[in-house]
Amino acid sequence: MEKRNIYFLVAISLAIVIFPILGVIAQSNDNLNNTGMNNTDNTAILNNTDSLSTCIDSQVILTLSGLTNAHAGIIGSSNHSVKICYNSIFNKQYTLNNSQVCKNDSSNTVLILSGGKNAHAKVSNMTLNSGDIPVCYGDLSCKVVLGGCNSSIGEKRIIGLSDYDDAHLSFSILQGYEKNLCCTSAFTGGNTSLSINIIKPKMWENFTISQLVDFEIEIANSSSLTNDLDIIWDFGDGNITNINSCLSQNKCNTKHIYPSQAHYIIKAKVTRQNSSETSTDHVEILIYEDGLNKFAIISKPAFGEEIASNTPVKFNGNQSFIAQCGSSCPTGKTCYTIPNSQLSCYNFAKPNRIDLNGTLSDYFFWFNWTFDKGKNNADDKNIIGNWNLNYTGVVEFDRTFFAEGNHTAILRVGYEPSS
């Protein structure tokens, strides 16, 4: 079959470190096009195996079917690949037992779902109907507010809702999902003496190319730190900013502009001077532009997930998507607006599926996974397919790596009109 108007975007690469006992996976954006790749600098960044946040089951508050316009589910009975994780939001592990058990007074109820998976949501103070399932977590105290959460009292945004009842959910910050679930947590058992949290940008926040993006961190116990701090900002597009003695200069925050449309993973690493103590955090953002937007997103393995050697690694790219953006929303389409821009966008339905407007999709969505590219070893493989013909073999599959050491994985997605 002749391919027409094919667009590829290399959006995500992984470095996998397989040890005799334990492997650590780290994700980083590799913003390259199909004219060539340069893995040298990217690999040097990815080989950093500092302890990163992982999303094991005990940290999962709830799961989503997608990043936007999503249904929800609970851990264990849901096959949703997007996880809303306590440790990623609060920058500390919740280490007490039975984290998802509801308290007798229901004070830690987060939301009420219409079922265990593919569910709609309603706020926690509404009546439980037959089949409803309360979602609870740890010591969280939550409320749904119209607008932003109050960071001065420790509130964190967990999710956005389309309404107070029978709602869809969005992890991304989008117009139409301004009813935000804001939660506080008093738990301190997972804190370390040096702990940072990226507060800007928010996880899965959306921006446009050439937009100035603020990058800010929150430092726990900053007033009690006796040594100054150095920070490294990795913006995920090959650019890195090093700031020495940032605490005393009050210059730990920075700004950055992305010139290209893509999915980016931003990492911040803070080091205490005259000490080996470090703290890290990461967020993922989407950068849009006018026209066709292609996002390659690896939802499995998770950022920082630990994998034992000789264990199959589950790869999943089914959160990848295509969006069309312009100055206005086309007639008959359900659109969302990118904040602080004039862009109005709608997502294409996955091939052979119906979109929100009841229209059957009419295009091919290609996937290209590459492992250990250029290493000329037993794991140097390339898998090509499309969503239509080979979903289980290309989008979600298990791989076992033969050798211990560093391995890389790259996901490309391609778009081809069917006519």
In this prediction, residue 400 has a pLDDT band, given cuts at 50, 70 and 90, of confident
Residue 56's nearest CA partner among 100, 87, 15, 24 is: 87
147: DSSP letter: S
The C-alpha atoms of residue 81 and residue 161 are separated, in whole angstroms, by 19
Position 332 scores a pLDDT of 84
pTM of the model as a whole: 0.62
Total length of the chain: 419
Residue 256 has pLDDT above 70, yes or no: yes
Position 412 scores a pLDDT of 84
Q: Which residue has the tokens 């020495």?
A: 244
Q: Which residue has the tokens 């009842």?
A: 165
Position 157 scores a pLDDT of 93
Position 43 scores a pLDDT of 23
Contacts of 47 (CB under 8 A, 6+ apart): 15, 17, 406
DSSP letters along 88-125, please? HHHSS---SS-TTPPPTT-TTEEEEESSSSSB-EE-TT
Cis preceding-peptide flag for 134 (omega within 30 of 0) = no
The sheet that has 212-220: what strands, in order across it?
A: 195-200, 212-220, 254-257
The C-alpha atoms of residue 49 and residue 312 are separated, in whole angstroms, by 20
Residue 49 has pLDDT above 50, yes or no: no
188: DSSP letter: -
- Given a contact cutoff of 8 angstroms between Cβ atoms, the answer to whether 181 and 147 are in contact is no
In this prediction, residue 354 has a pLDDT band, given cuts at 50, 70 and 90, of confident
Question: Kindly report the CA angle at 63 between 60 and 68, in degrees rounded to 5?
Answer: 130
In this prediction, residue 226 has a pLDDT band, given cuts at 50, 70 and 90, of confident
User: What confidence tens digit (pLDDT) does each residue in 152-178 have?
Assistant: 888 999 999 999 999 999 988 777 898
Residue 235 has pLDDT above 60, yes or no: yes
In this prediction, residue 23 has a pLDDT band, given cuts at 50, 70 and 90, of very low
- % of residues, the chain, pLDDT over 90: 37
Position 38 scores a pLDDT of 25
Residue 391 has pLDDT above 60, yes or no: no
Residue 33 has pLDDT above 50, yes or no: no
